[in-house]
Structure 1
Amino acid sequence: MEQTTSPPSGYTCKLSEEALKKAREELNEDPSTRLAMVEALRERIKQSPDLCIQDDDHILLRFLRARYFNVEQAFKLLEKYHKWRAQSPEICSNMRPSSVRGLLEAGYHAALPGRDQDGRKVMFYRIGKWDPYQFSAYEVFRVSMISSEKIIQEEDTQVHGIAMIADLAGLSFSHAYQIGPRVAKKIGSITTDAFPIRVKEIHLLNQPMLFDAIFAIIKPFMSEKMRNRIHLHGPKTETLLQYVDRDALPPEYGGTGPPLDEACRLWTDTLLACEDEFSAMSYSGQELVAIEEEEEEEEEEVEDEEVEEAAEVEES
């Protein structure tokens, strides 16, 4: 495993040799200049004094890796991330896992143990475990944000990315009623250009006819590249094995990993043990200058073009 001389922050590279090789080839990461690039991003942040952004080396590296070590693009992603959080108090004002304990304990979601054949972390969701009369779409979205914030701390996840799997069995009009354009816009924005994570694939299982109407609302807010990474499997869950190996999947879906209920319990325990950590992440948005909705809408088209330019190095 490659080691670096630790700066005052105490950063030491924890990438596996495989991940380090991939980071060099796909993300333009050079161990000899890595910390210099971090410092360049830190200096870029200082040019925007109205922003109050944590500039820990570990955090800044997430954004650099997500934008192929292009400092300006990494800064824009970081800025977009903080603006998104400031404008989403219904999700981010309380990031404590205990705030969504009911959803977690119901077995709605888990980051599955281990990784798949491509080194990706596998995120699993079961819509049928979401009681829409008890939890809002924003609380469901908060579960994803909490999990994403936790797994992105892993350097291997920053490099290899994630695969998302959602079993849509049980999707009902009560669920659909909560997913309007406002929620759809937030989902599209955070998955496309406002979070430093590489979403490599999205797999949807057991989707009912109702799904088409819901996806029609969400689709316009997603980039074409992200839309192309969505795979619809219907009831044929065995086709999932063409993309994710058996070792990474639970037996209910043709895999040899731990049962999904067990994986959900383990992940719930992991998140609830981080209550203090996520309490510090709860976010009022007061640290940022207010952003008017009209300004954001005017900038979206330009920003989206910039993100696509930053992603020209196509991920394998």
Structure 2
Amino acid sequence: MTYAIETTYEEFLKLEQEKYPELNLEDIEALKELVDANKNLPPVKDKEIVMFLHSAFFDVKKAYKTLVANYKYRSELTQIFSNTDPMSEEMKEVYETMSLSIVTVPYKGKHERYVYTQFKNEDPNVFNYVNSVKYFFMMMEVLIIQHGTFDGVILTMNGKGLNWRHLTKIPMKLAKNLMGFVQEALPVRLKEVHVINAGSISTMLFNLMKPFMWGNFLDRVTLYSEGSDEFFNHVPVEFMPEEMGGRGKSHMTYSEDTYNHMCSYRDWYTTKNN
């Protein structure tokens, strides 16, 4: 089952409760009351309430804290969360430079969803960290719209082609804030991060980010050296991109399919976040 923007809240809630019977109306109403009492928050849609409650494993207080953090980060990181148009020149350039993809799997129910990243163009001169991150979170929004809640996102990042000049283009203050957003404010459960073909530069980047990782987040991140295929214990080899040793489509095809899907939501992007 997949959703569309037009899917009503009533239908959405019914299907979400079929996936997760622990999603109950009392908790939804309790979270709504907390949100309504906070005059610093903009209007929050009912579907978002469900997403944040699920991301917090149905803990109302934690869901509220996550939701408040989400809106706070989004208001502060305007370079990431405003002017979101997948057909803008900046996003087209990211599409040409980076493969940021939702892997096509015959998803059923609440099982994990898989996301994959890889360079298309390894030239650091064309790499734009800010726009690439913006594109990534726009992609994640499409994933949420289409699938609603699910057990977690599993992200695979291919470090092939990463060099020290890419690192010099990462503004560390922004990277620190984004790590905070990922750990405090996501409306989905980020379950695992697998970095494959992780050479010395990937390890260096990981060590730079390590001070910004809290609690058990470090346990979710695993680096694999070039030639290792141990990550296939965590991701489905039959669907993952052929460039990482999988039997699925090329990452170029997954990237194109994902970008075209994002473009089909252009009207939603330009009215929601601008």
TM, length-normalised to structure 2:
0.87
1:250 paired to 2:241: yes
Quick one: distance in 2 between partners of 1:251 and 1:110?
13
> For 1:190-231, what per-residue CA distance to the aligned partner results, in whole angstroms no more than 9, with x for missing partners?
221111111111111112212232222211111231111111
Quick one: distance in 2 between partners of 1:155 and 1:260?
21
- Name the structure 1 match of 2:50: 61
Quick one: distance in 1 between partners of 2:151 and 2:229?
24
Which residue identity is paired with 2:37?
Answer: Q
- Name the structure 1 match of 2:153: 162
Aligned residue among 125, 146, 151 for 2:138: 146
Contact 1:116 1:244 (8 Å CA) reproduced: no
Runs of at least 5 residues in structure 1 that lack an aligned partner in the other structure: 2-7, 284-316
- Name the structure 2 match of 1:10: 10
Give identity over the alignment, percent.
22
> For 1:242-284, what per-residue CA distance to the aligned partner results, in whole angstroms no more than 9, with x for missing partners?
111222312222322222211111111101111111112325x
- Name the structure 2 match of 1:171: 162
Alignment of 1:75-114 (within 5 A): 75-99=64-88, 100-114=91-105
Quick one: distance in 1 between partners of 2:235 and 2:17?
21
Which residue identity is paired with 1:217?
Answer: L
Alignment of 1:262-273 (within 5 A): 262-273=253-264
Contact 2:156 2:193 (8 Å CA) reproduced: yes
RMSD of Structure 2 on Structure 1 (CA) = 2.4
Runs of at least 5 residues in structure 2 that lack an aligned partner in the other structure: 2-7
1:49 paired to 2:50: no
Question: How many residues align structurally?
Answer: 264
How big is the shift at 1:184?
Answer: 2.3
> Runs of 4+ in structure 1 displaced over 4 angstroms?
115-118
Contact 1:116 1:247 (8 Å CA) reproduced: no
Contact 1:128 1:169 (8 Å CA) reproduced: no
How big is the shift at 1:49?
Answer: 1.3
Change (3 A) 1:228 1:111: same
1:129 paired to 2:121: yes
1:279 paired to 2:270: yes
How big is the shift at 1:15?
Answer: 4.4
Quick one: distance in 2 between partners of 1:127 and 1:190?
24
Give 3-state SS (helix, strand or coil) of 1:269's partner. Answer: helix
Contact 2:180 2:212 (8 Å CA) reproduced: yes
Give 3-state SS (helix, strand or coil) of 2:181's partner. Answer: helix
1:120 paired to 2:109: no
Quick one: distance in 2 between partners of 1:193 and 1:53?
20
- Name the structure 2 match of 1:310: none
Deviates more, 1:126-135 or 1:196-205: 126-135
How big is the shift at 1:169?
Answer: 1.1
Contact 1:126 1:169 (8 Å CA) reproduced: yes
Contact 2:74 2:81 (8 Å CA) reproduced: yes
Give 3-state SS (helix, strand or coil) of 1:73's partner. Answer: helix
Quick one: distance in 2 between partners of 1:255 and 1:172?
24
How big is the shift at 1:64?
Answer: 0.3
TM, length-normalised to structure 1:
0.76
Contact 2:199 2:226 (8 Å CA) reproduced: no
